Amino acid sequence: LTPPLRKFALTAHVTSSIGWIGAAVVFLALAVIGLTSRDEQTVRGAYLVMEPAAWFVLVPLAFASLLTGLVMSLGTMWGLFRHFWVLFKLLINLFATIVLLIYMETFSLMASVAGDRTVDLAMVRNASPMLHAVLAILLLLVATVLAVYKPRGLTPYGWRKQQITKA
Amino acid sequence: MSSSEAATPRWVKVLGIIGIVVVLVFVILHLTGGPMRHGV
């Protein structure tokens, strides 16, 4: 990548990745509201809004983070499989994105339950979104720490590549 | 590069073990229908 393009890709990657963490924090707040609020409309509203909000915010940010991360790693000297920190970030991003896509069905189910006035409020409340949001935040924070500190460590593939470059 | 530099760093082993444990716990909780269940 040329320096201006690299900076653009880096800006997009940082923005989408940190935005994803922020969105996950908002979902954690929604999940806590859904579990603790005494107001029925607020509880039902929290679960109803999760699905569209996830489609409009979480999913695009997850894919933007993954895509820009791929561009950044493949377009720079870091590579995708050369350094352990890059590899871990890729695995975290892939795992979080796959779980999110699988979980979209749950968002839909919870929304349909919350929208059904005949269903008791106790059945509408669900701890699952809170646990998923906490796990997502922790995973994404680990990825952020790896990106900032860039801890040393070449993968066997990266080590071989380096030996070839030196030779 | 020395052999110590080529060796897998300790942080990779620690994070790798934590990662495997997290994935296993996650999968088991989902399969057993624990609090992280997908169904409502």
How far is the C-alpha of B36 from the C-alpha of B30, rounded, in Å?
6
State ipTM.
Answer: 0.78
Per-residue pLDDT of chain A (167 residues; tens, 9 = 90+): 898 999 999 999 999 999 999 999 999 999 999 999 999 999 999 999 999 999 999 999 999 999 999 999 999 989 999 999 999 999 999 999 999 999 999 999 999 999 999 999 999 999 999 999 999 999 999 999 999 999 999 999 999 988 998 87
Q: Are A30 and A46 in contact (CB under 8 A)?
A: yes
CB contact under 8 Å between B6 and A127, yes or no, is: no
What is the radius of gyration, based on Cα positions, of chain B? 17
How far is the C-alpha of B9 from the C-alpha of B16, rounded, in Å?
11
How far is the C-alpha of B31 from the C-alpha of B40, rounded, in Å?
14
Q: Is A121 on the interface with B (CB under 8 A)?
A: no
CA A156-A160-A166 angle, to 5 degrees, is 145
CA A157-A69-A3 angle, to 5 degrees, is 95
Rounded to the nearest angstrom, the gap between the alpha carbon of residue B3 and the centroid of all alpha carbons in its chain is: 27
- Sign, CA dihedral A148-B11-B23-A75, equals positive
- Sign, CA dihedral A94-A74-A14-A63, equals negative
Q: Is B6 on the interface with A (CB under 8 A)?
A: yes
CB contact under 8 Å between A153 and B15, yes or no, is: no
The pTM (predicted TM-score) of the whole model is 0.90
> Cβ–Cβ contacts within 10 Å for residue A64, how many?
17
